[in-house]
Amino acid sequence: MADVVESTVELEEDTQKDRYLTFSLGKESYGIEIKYVIEIIGIQSITEIPELPEYVRGIINLRGKIIPVIDVRVRFKKEPREYNDRTCVIVVDILNISIGLIVDSVSEVLTIPEQDIVDPPQMNTGNNNHYIKNIGKVGNEVKLLLDCEELLSEKDMENFSEEL
């Protein structure tokens, strides 16, 4: 019985397996597992909420649902950039929390087979290393595959509250 259940789950997941939505932040290209992605919307008017870390830009109204948005650029400690019509919000659902990720632009959905994915190199100096789960090779390019759960991780929140 349990086997049957498991295999159906696997079948369902199959269509999403190894598929990544890629987006760009400055020069780098990032990938995010497609199973997390709910939808992609253009930039909207954001309501700021006071007393939050800078990367949490505020909340937006997505058809009556209020979701928080974070600026991935700021989150990765890059220079913030003016939003333009290429700026997108990727709405993701991570551990049942809906959240919008503001990125420079969305590129495409790619299939990166497992054998083309490698572990990130160990960098002792890197600050934001832990957001990168793997590195995917597509032709000559590399895509940095994000660890979504790490993006919202509590580790970071603890740091934040300490900073306060």
Partner 1 sequence: MSEQHIHEPLMDMFIFETTQLLEQLEQAILNSESISTYTETSINEIFRIMHTIKGSSAMMMLNDISLLAHAIEDLFYYLRDIKPNNIDTSTISDLVLDGVDFIKVEVKKLENGNTVDGASSSIISNINEYLSMIKQSNITEPMNKVFEAVIFFQEGCEMENIRAYTIIRNLNGFAKKISCIPKDIMDNDESVEIIRKDGLKLYFESDYTYAKLNEFFMQTIFLKDMELNQLENDVVYMQQMEDSEATEFEDIISERDKNNNLLNVKKDKDKNKDKDKDKDKDEEKDKTNGSTAQSIISVNVAKLDQLMDLVGEMVIAEAMVIQNPDLVGLELDNFRKAARQLNKITTEMQNTVMSIRMVPLSTTFNKMNRIVRDMCKKLEKEVRLKIIGEDTEVDKNIIEHISDPLMHLVRNSIDHGIESSEERGENGKTKVGTVTLTARNSGSDVLIIVSDDGGGLDRDKILSKASQQNLLIKREEDMSDREVYNLIILPGFSTNDNVTEFSGRGVGMDVVARNIEAVGGTVYVDSMPGKGTEITLKIPLTLAIIDGMNIKVGNSRYTIPIISIKESFRPSKKDIISDPDGNEMILVRGQCYKILRIHEVYKVKTQITELYNGIIIMIEHGDKTICIFADELIGQQQVVVKALPEYIQTFKTIRGLAGCTLLGDGSISLILDVAGMINM
The CA-atom distances, in angstroms, between 62 and each of 18, 121, 127 are 28, 38, 32
User: Measured from the CB of residue 40, what is the shortest distance to partner 1 in angstroms?
Assistant: 19
| CA nearest neighbour of 91 among 106, 107, 79 | 106
C-alpha distance from residue 1 to each of 5, 7, 28, 32 (Å): 7, 10, 46, 33
- Interface region with partner 1, contact rule CB under 8 A, candidates 16-24, 118-126, 139-147, 150-158: 150-158
Which among 85, 100, 116 is positioned nearest to 18, based on CA atoms? Answer: 116
- Report CA-CA distances (Å) from 137 to 78, 120, 160: 23, 12, 34
Could you tell me the smallest distance in angstroms from the CB atom of residue 52 to partner 1?
A: 6
Candidates 67, 110, 138, 142: give the one binding partner 1 (CB under 8 A): 67
Q: Least distance (Å) from partner 1 to the CB of residue 75? A: 13
The site map against partner 1 for 30-49 (x = CB under 8 A) is ---------------x-xxx
The site for partner 1, by CB under 8 A, has a size of: 28
Polymer length in residues for the chain: 164
Measure CA 138 to chain center. Answer: 19
In the bound complex, what is the minimum distance in angstroms from residue 59's beta carbon to partner 1? 6
| Residue (59 or 142) nearer to partner 1, CB | 59
Binding site for partner 1 (CB under 8 A): 1-2, 5, 45, 47-53, 56, 59-61, 64, 66-68, 97-99, 152, 154, 157, 160-161, 164
